[in-house]
Amino acid sequence: MLTFLRHPTFQLIFTAALGALSVFGFAPYYIYPTPILALAGLFYFWRDAETQKHAMQLGFAFGMGLFGAGVSWIYVSLHDFGGMPSAAAIFATAAFFAFISLLPMSAGWALKRYFPHAPLLAAPLLWVGQEWVRGWIFTGFPWLTMGYSQVPYSPLAGFAPVLGVFGVSLLTAIAAAIVAGALHGRLARKQWAFALLGLWITGAALKHVEWSHPVGTPLTFSLLQGNISQDLKWREDEVVRTFQTYRDMALTSHAQLIVMPEMALPILMDEVPRDYLDKLAQHAKAQGGDILIGVPEAKRQDGETLYYNTMLSYGTAPTQAYRKFHLVPFGEFIPFKPVFGWIYRNLLHIPLADLASGDKYQQPMALSGQKIAMNICYEDVFGEEIIRQLPAATLLINVSNDAWYGESLAADQHMQMSMTRALETARMVLRATNTGATAVINREGRVIAHAPHFKQLSLDGAAQGYAGTTPYVLWGNVPAIALIFLGLGVLWVRKKK
């Protein structure tokens, strides 16, 4: 390699740039080789790092580049729609990037501390290990897990129904380690070429496996995208217009299933006029189907009022409810209230920022001849939670409101995660959102219909239900994580010997 690449300061700058470059592997770009090459650069520098400190710095720099470029939309939600002052929002966003970058930093430390004898073997395992930790620590933030970058076009996406997104991430990191090994001359060109080819061929072959089979008749649907701006959504003088918008859109639909987005109606369920609900229910019955309504809900329990983010069904089937379980910290609930409560009292103006969680295990909704696994917004970034309703569910529906993130990458990145859930479960996914990305995703994880962002419209079509069980539905993340710990264990034993 070029001599200047050996300078520690340049390596940090270059590694941060590689982290930012890897964002092009994710939606809306889908240039899936990019994260492989970016990780290869990080692993190359990790191998040559002379000290634990430098390896940690490299991991931190890569993380700051990745998250700084990939999730800068957090600033938009805090400042533009959360009302936080600009300086405070910049500080909070940068602090968040720094905090989650501590995880790739810790991977660099562990690499030099425990596995200096096999850096290119341990690097992929440690990288995905820290991604997995990020997926659950403090309720989890698995955004930009490298496995998502391979969905749906890369051959490695074929492993999603078997090992889930963390398994795809592991194979992505292994491919990067192979490239880094070739750059170091540790492997002959033919050897690393055959290794990469083997991964590609196996993944491509898995894409042709029929993990599920059709069940029932196709279901006609209308996904309502009301395009209600976030800065208007909760204003009292806009409530009537919002109600009229969704009523008019619903009444013009002739579908069996009509789906409103998350919290489409911006008042508590008890305050929604009865005749409004009756009219929507009667229309759904006339179509021989049901309508799903997103609305906040208040319930008295043990002497206190709890508020839920809820989807309710009305129509031919008995009324059913799904209440959001996995809430967004600092957006839907306040963690460590004694410490962070002052943020909401003084800096933020987010409505319904302290919700209660629904039941952890909820049954699929039986609607229009299908069993529908509901999930609301952020929930579908957690594959191990989605499979709780499977294999019983025949169709997945995600409702969301990504208007919080403006015209950023967030909505498309979120949709890519829904695409991954379709692959993992071998089910179609319907997405109804407020401003985008409203979409229809087939069981191969490909978008077959996509509404334009920031336009009021109804996305209509027909969805087929599927039955069957993928390995991921059976075992979740256990096999992928077990492979990581097993691999690290083998390398540790090898070091001792």
Q: Which residue has the tokens 């692959």?
A: 423
**Chain centre to alpha carbon of residue 278:** 35
Nearest-angstrom CA–CA distance, 244 and 205? 49
Output DSSP code: residue 364.
Answer: P
Q: Are 272 and 297 in contact (CB under 8 A)?
A: no
Please list, in sequence order, all residues whose beta carbon lies within 8 angstroms of the beta carbon of residue 393, skipping any fewer than 6 positions away.
364, 371, 372, 373, 425, 427
Neighbours of 125 (CB within 10 A): 27
Which tokens in the block code for residue 471?
Answer: 């390995």
Q: Which residue has the tokens 């619903």?
A: 250
Whole-angstrom Cα Rg for the chain: 23
Beta-carbon-side half-sphere exposure of residue 397 (alpha carbons within 13 Å): 34
Q: How far apart are the first and last CA of the chain?
A: 33
Q: Are 158 and 207 in contact (CB under 8 A)?
A: yes
Provide the residue count of the chain: 497
In Å, what is the CA distance from 98 to each residue of 45, 94, 104?
Answer: 20, 6, 11
Nearest-angstrom CA–CA distance, 411 and 261? 14
* 3-class state of residue 84 by DSSP: coil
Residues carrying an active site annotation = 262, 324, 377
